[in-house]
Structure 1
Amino acid sequence: MGAVRLAPVLAALLGASLLAAPTVAQAADTVPLTSTFNHPAGTGAEQNAIRNQLVSLIQRSPSGSRIDGSIYLFTDTTVSAALVAAKERGVKVKMIIDGDSVDTGGSQYDTLKAGLGTTLSADSWVLACPVPRGCLGNRKLNADHTGAINHNKFFLFSQVGDTDGVVFQTSANLTTTQRTKYFNNAVTIPDAGSGLYTTYRAYWEDLKKHGSSGSGLDHYYKTQQSGKYKTYFFPRKEDSGTYDKDPSTDTIVSLLKNVSCAGGVTRIRVGMYAFTRVQVADKLVSLKQAGCRVDLLHNDESGNLGTAVGNAVKGNLTTVSRCKGTTQNADGTTRAIGVHSKYLLIEGTYLDATGRKLVFTGSHNYTFPNLRSYDETLLKIDNAAVYDSFKANFESMRTGSYCTQY
């Protein structure tokens, strides 16, 4: 697996003077709409595909441009080195990371602190969200919940090469485990007049504002249509009842209500790391009963699939597959292979329009903390080529050797 380029790179040909020798044409460095998927049991390049895509964007950011990132876990020395190098050549690099990740083994916070500084009025800095909350979210849902986190995983580039306004959204944290143990996904999106970059920047500014002062929020939920894209930013508080008893304010349930199964042509695919919201499971089951094909692929580590969700979906969807395979390490030991992606694919009738191909991806797991407490991003992409690339990724996992139907 790797990057799937979804638009051609256009060449800018330099004109040759009639009085001079012909000049070698120089290709413009443009950023196409790209889907990227890693393969944790593949070659080094396949494992590192998402990281390599991100590093390429960082390295191609010119002096005077800016990079704004928001990430949950960050232990990747290659990315931290690229960010510090970008700052040293004149790029304004501003990073927001979750406070809990500061003391994580191998944390790159100290590297970023030394290389970027922590003065928020400077051109470059790193900010850790205050513990025990996210930068925005401050809600502890119950006695067993440890509190909010900044679970985001995105980078914003004011310029990459010759392209202005690039959004990089992924499901992967910047850790070795994410590259070598889990399937993940990413999208690289040039703004191209959609307004998506500005929308993300406004959210990022709110993360900075609330993360650097104040006590946080128990509700933030904002949505924005930006051309063929739509963003959903969390946390989202229930309107009534308790955090787990109001499906009317569950964004995924609401999105699934827009699906029509008439004619039996609509297909839903869910690839999900953590899934504990039974209301979402119940809606998927009802859509299967209404004539949709519904395929679920989930991670199989303890607690990733809630008991109520497991009971609801078992035998009641078209297929349900768990991802918990193994692969051999160079030293002869084995490691588990799972899925950390978080996406919903809808093909068919949506909002009464037929032939739709939609991707919903980002950092949003189907758990109540991800909905009600955490700083999160869900991104809707209305693009057939992006959909087809995610569909191919889903089917390669579903039919591959690391996920098993049951």
Structure 2
Amino acid sequence: MYQLWSATVARALTAAHDDPLRAINVQVVLDDVSASSPVADGTYDTLKASLGTDTSRSSFVTLCPASRSCLGDPARGNSVSHNKYVLFSSAGGGSLRNVVVQTSSNLTPSSYDKYWNSSTTVTGNSTLYNAYVAYFQKLKAKNYSTWKYSSTSAGAQKAYFFPRAGTTNSSDTVVGILNNVDCSWSDSTGTHRTGIRLAMFTLTRQGVADKLAGLRRAGCYVDIVYTNMDAGTWRALHFSGGPRVRCYDYDDDGDSTTERMVMHSKYLLIDGWYYGRRDKVLWTGSANYSTPGLRSNDEALLKVNDDATAAAYRSNFDAVSGAAVPGAADNVTECKS
């Protein structure tokens, strides 16, 4: 977890560990900001007192190095452990096993009260669960010199674990995903157009923006709701006949000292012709579409092939896009800083 500032979560975790009738093993890997930030609320200290910091034991809390992710190469400069996932070996009184919760949300008050976030849960998929556990073990070990980007296919799901080395679009996971999209297909009912919907807090990776623009020019429907772009990605996606683009970055209470309302999710929905067949596919996770989110931060991305999940995210997308302020009037500093 990147930011864990929640007394409620800390109490729940320590109660699970400390209650002799439950005695649950609790293991937590956090970015250093969870302890060192000026707004840190003592959550880390609460966990430390209960769980300890010895990673060889069955319960612990540990921090990634200061100003660096657990697996990021220091040669790339500062980075963060930006992960946002929770694993349960068993839940629901034992009725659920191998539970993976992948979310875009930090565990902080503003993440619940001010930010649009999203989460998906997969149960009973031992291959997926074990892949996340293996990644967790590497995060815990903090050995960046042996780390290599990896992915694991697990039935209707696939997990991708970062950071990923490289410098070109050929090693950009999202560009690779988009390269598998065809913008139209035909069947017995006629010709159809592929829809691409992106909800993204930060979109500053030029290769991704250029690919989305190219797919729009090729005939795909492209719809984006975001909070931050830079000048290059903003320009690439704003042209006559271009994608539908909405910004969500709003001072809802007129108080500059409080958090703004933003779109903090990080998901991509493709509804149409993908990888040679008609499909509805979701990719969701912790990573922004930024260079650090690909190359230096600890991040996880989850692909889900499931119509019901895609429908739920589509509903969420329509809601956040409809609520976005300033919306289409996004030629403003806060949207392209």
Shared fold per TM-score greater than 0.5: yes
Once the two structures are superposed, residues 231-269 of structure 1 have per-residue CA deviations (whole angstroms, 9 ceiling, x without a partner) of: 11011111xxxx3xx111111000000001024520000
Please give the secondary structure, in 2, of the residue aligned with 1:95.
strand
Percent identity for Structure 1 against Structure 2: 39
Contact 1:171 1:185 (C-alpha < 8 Å) held by counterparts = yes
C-alpha distance in 1 between matches for 2:43 and 2:197:
35
Which residue is equivalent to 1:350? 274
Contiguous gaps of at least 5 residues in structure 1: 1-70
Which residue is equivalent to 1:392? 315
C-alpha distance in 2 between matches for 1:334 and 1:119:
37
* Cα distance change, pair 102–276 in 1 and its aligned pair in 2 (3 A): same
Tell me how far 1:403 sits from its aligned partner: 5.3
What one-letter code is carried by the residue in structure 2 that aligns with 1:325? Y
Contact 2:30 2:63 (C-alpha < 8 Å) held by counterparts = yes
Alignment of 1:350-389 (within 5 A): 350-354=274-278, 356-389=279-312
Tell me how far 1:194 sits from its aligned partner: 5.2
What one-letter code is carried by the residue in structure 2 that aligns with 1:296? I
Which residue is equivalent to 1:150? 81
User: How big is the alpha-carbon RMSD for the aligned residues of Structure 1 and Structure 2?
Assistant: 1.9
Tell me how far 1:399 sits from its aligned partner: 1.4
Once the two structures are superposed, residues 151-202 of structure 1 have per-residue CA deviations (whole angstroms, 9 ceiling, x without a partner) of: 1011100000211110111101111121122100011110x24521111111
Which residue is equivalent to 2:223? 295
Contiguous gaps of at least 5 residues in structure 2: 186-191, 330-337
Contact 2:213 2:243 (C-alpha < 8 Å) held by counterparts = no
Aligned with 1:127 (options 57, 62, 75): 62
C-alpha distance in 2 between matches for 1:220 and 1:151:
17
Which residue is equivalent to 1:52? none
Contact 1:218 1:373 (C-alpha < 8 Å) held by counterparts = no
Q: Does 1:327 align with 2:252?
A: yes
Q: Does 1:84 align with 2:14?
A: yes
Aligned with 1:195 (options 88, 107, 127): 127
Relative to the length of structure 2, the TM-score reads 0.88
Q: Does 1:311 align with 2:235?
A: yes
* Cα distance change, pair 326–99 in 1 and its aligned pair in 2 (3 A): closer
Please give the secondary structure, in 2, of the residue aligned with 1:119.
coil
C-alpha distance in 1 between matches for 2:234 and 2:326:
16
Alignment of 1:231-310 (within 5 A): 231-238=159-166, 243=167, 246-263=168-185, 264-299=192-227, 304-310=228-234
Please give the secondary structure, in 2, of the residue aligned with 1:110.
helix
Contact 1:183 1:338 (C-alpha < 8 Å) held by counterparts = yes
Please give the secondary structure, in 2, of the residue aligned with 1:253.
helix
Q: Does 1:225 align with 2:153?
A: yes
Tell me how far 1:318 sits from its aligned partner: 2.8
Tell me how far 1:338 sits from its aligned partner: 0.9
Tell me which structure has the larger Cα radius of gyration: 1
Contact 1:97 1:126 (C-alpha < 8 Å) held by counterparts = yes
* Cα distance change, pair 88–219 in 1 and its aligned pair in 2 (3 A): closer
Please give the secondary structure, in 1, of the residue aligned with 2:252.
strand
C-alpha distance in 1 between matches for 2:234 and 2:106:
26
Relative to the length of structure 1, the TM-score reads 0.74
Aligned with 1:207 (options 139, 143, 156): 139
* Cα distance change, pair 171–298 in 1 and its aligned pair in 2 (3 A): same
Once the two structures are superposed, residues 332-382 of structure 1 have per-residue CA deviations (whole angstroms, 9 ceiling, x without a partner) of: x9863111100000000001101x111100001100011010111011000
* Cα distance change, pair 336–125 in 1 and its aligned pair in 2 (3 A): same
